[in-house]
Structure 1
Amino acid sequence: MFTYENGAVVRRTPLLATVTALLLGGVLAQPSAEAAPTAFAHPGVTVSRSQLDFARTKVLAGAQPWKSAYDQMMTSRYADQNRTPKPRAVVECGSYSNPNLGCTDEREDAIAAYTNALAWYITREPRYARKAIQLMDAWSAVIQDHTNSNAPLQTGWAGSSWPRAAEIIKHTYTGGWPGAGRFATMLRTVYLPEIINGSHSNGNWELSMMEAAVGISVFLDDKDSYDKAMAKFRTRTAAYVYLASDGDLPRTVPGQNLDTRDKIVKYWQGQSTFVTGLTQETCRDLTHTGYGISAIAHVAETSRIQGQDLYGTDVGERLRQALGLQAKYELGTPVPAWLCGGTLHLGLGPVTEVGHNALHHRLGIAMTNTGTLTERNRPAGSNNLFVAWETLTHAQNPN
Structure 2
Amino acid sequence: MSRTYILPLLFLFFWGMVISSSAQAPAFAHPGLLHSKADLQRMSAAVARQRSPIYEGFLVFQKSPSSHYDYQLKGPLKEVGRNPTRGQVDYDSDANAAYQNALMWAITGDMRYAQTAIRIIDAWSDTLQLVTGRDAVLMAGLGPFKMVNAAEIIRHSGAGWPDAAVKRTAQHFRRVIYPVLAEFAPFANGNWDDAALKTVMAIGIFCDDHEIFEKAVRYYVNGWGNGSLTHYIINDAGQVQETGRDQAHTQLGIGMLAECCEMAWHQGLNLYAYANNRLLKGFEYTARYNLGYNDIPYTPMLDRTGKYYHTHPSEMARGNLRAVYEQVYNHYVHRMGLEAPFTKAAADRLRPEGPGIPGADHPGYGTLFYTIDPAIDKMESLNLSEERPAGLVLTAKADASMLTWVGLHGISSYVVKRAENKEGPYIKMGVANGNFFSDSSMKKGVVYYYTVAGIRDGSVSKESLPVSLAGGGLPKGWRNNDIGNTGAPGHAQYDGDLVRIDAGGMFTDSLPAAVNYTYRELKKKDEMIIQVCPQPSSQFTTVGLMIRVDLQPDSHFAAWMLYPGKTKEIEAPGWMMQLIQRRNSAAATTVMTKQLLRVPAVTYGRLTGSYWLKVTRSGNKIAGFGSYDGIRWERLGTVHWSTGRPALMGIAAAANIAVTTTVRVRLRQ
Deviations 1:191-215 (A, max 9, x none): 1111021121210111111100000
* Percent of aligned positions that are identical: 31
Q: What is the aligned partner in structure 2 of residue 198 from structure 1?
A: 184
Q: What is the aligned partner in structure 1 of residue 290 from structure 2?
A: 330
The answer to whether structure 1 residue 239 and structure 2 residue 214 are counterparts is no
Cα offset, 1:38, TM superposition: 8.2
Partners of 1:209 and 1:88 lie apart in 2 by 21
Matching of residues 49-128 of structure 1 within 5 Å: 49-85=37-73, 86-94=75-83, 99-128=84-113
Partners of 1:312 and 1:336 lie apart in 2 by 22
Does the residue aligned with 2:81 lie in a helix, a strand or coil?
Answer: strand
The worse-fitting range, judged by mean Cα deviation, of 296-305 and 381-390 is 381-390
Does the residue aligned with 1:100 lie in a helix, a strand or coil?
Answer: coil
Cα offset, 1:151, TM superposition: 0.4
Asked if structure 2 preserves the Cα contact closer than 8 Å seen for 1:359 and 1:365, the reply is: yes
Asked if structure 2 preserves the Cα contact closer than 8 Å seen for 1:277 and 1:323, the reply is: yes
Asked if structure 1 preserves the Cα contact closer than 8 Å seen for 2:181 and 2:196, the reply is: yes
The answer to whether structure 1 residue 168 and structure 2 residue 136 are counterparts is no
Asked if structure 1 preserves the Cα contact closer than 8 Å seen for 2:289 and 2:296, the reply is: no
Asked if structure 2 preserves the Cα contact closer than 8 Å seen for 1:208 and 1:291, the reply is: no
Q: What is the aligned partner in structure 2 of residue 387 from structure 1?
A: 362
1:358 corresponds, among 322, 331, 338, to 331
Asked if structure 1 preserves the Cα contact closer than 8 Å seen for 2:328 and 2:343, the reply is: no
The answer to whether structure 1 residue 396 and structure 2 residue 372 are counterparts is yes
Deviations 1:9-43 (A, max 9, x none): xxxxxxxxxxxxxxxxxxxxxxxxxxxx9820000
Deviations 1:19-68 (A, max 9, x none): xxxxxxxxxxxxxxxxxx98200000011010111111111111111111
Deviations 1:322-343 (A, max 9, x none): 1101111211223679675465
Q: What is the aligned partner in structure 2 of residue 183 from structure 1?
A: 169
1:39 corresponds, among 18, 27, 43, to 27
Q: What is the aligned partner in structure 2 of residue 12 from structure 1?
A: none
The worse-fitting range, judged by mean Cα deviation, of 383-392 and 141-150 is 383-392
- AA matched with 2:372: Q
Asked if structure 2 preserves the Cα contact closer than 8 Å seen for 1:120 and 1:128, the reply is: yes
Does the residue aligned with 2:127 lie in a helix, a strand or coil?
Answer: coil
Pair 170,122 (structure 1): closer, same or farther in 2 beyond 3 Å:
same
Partners of 1:80 and 1:72 lie apart in 2 by 12
Does the residue aligned with 1:101 lie in a helix, a strand or coil?
Answer: coil
Q: What is the aligned partner in structure 2 of residue 147 from structure 1?
A: 132
Cα offset, 1:137, TM superposition: 0.8
Cα offset, 1:286, TM superposition: 1.3
Cα offset, 1:84, TM superposition: 2.2
Unaligned 5+ segments in structure 1 are 1-36, 245-275
The answer to whether structure 1 residue 304 and structure 2 residue 265 are counterparts is yes
Does the residue aligned with 1:172 lie in a helix, a strand or coil?
Answer: coil
Partners of 1:231 and 1:238 lie apart in 2 by 12
Q: Give the number of the structure with larger relative contact order, counting CA–CA contacts within 8 Å between residues 6 or more apart.
A: 1
TM-align CA RMSD: 1.9
Higher strand fraction: Structure 1 or Structure 2? 2
Cα offset, 1:111, TM superposition: 1.5
Bigger radius of gyration among the two = 2
Asked if structure 1 preserves the Cα contact closer than 8 Å seen for 2:243 and 2:313, the reply is: no
Matching of residues 188-227 of structure 1 within 5 Å: 188-200=174-186, 201-227=188-214
Aligned residues: 327
Cα offset, 1:138, TM superposition: 1.0
Partners of 1:307 and 1:43 lie apart in 2 by 13
Q: What is the aligned partner in structure 2 of residue 371 from structure 1?
A: 344
Higher helix fraction: Structure 1 or Structure 2? 1
- AA matched with 1:198: F
- AA matched with 1:243: N
TM-score w.r.t. the length of structure 1 is 0.78
Partners of 2:342 and 2:298 lie apart in 1 by 21
Pair 326,196 (structure 1): closer, same or farther in 2 beyond 3 Å:
same
Pair 154,335 (structure 1): closer, same or farther in 2 beyond 3 Å:
farther
Partners of 1:353 and 1:342 lie apart in 2 by 24
Asked if structure 1 preserves the Cα contact closer than 8 Å seen for 2:125 and 2:172, the reply is: yes
Pair 337,360 (structure 1): closer, same or farther in 2 beyond 3 Å:
closer
- AA matched with 1:239: H
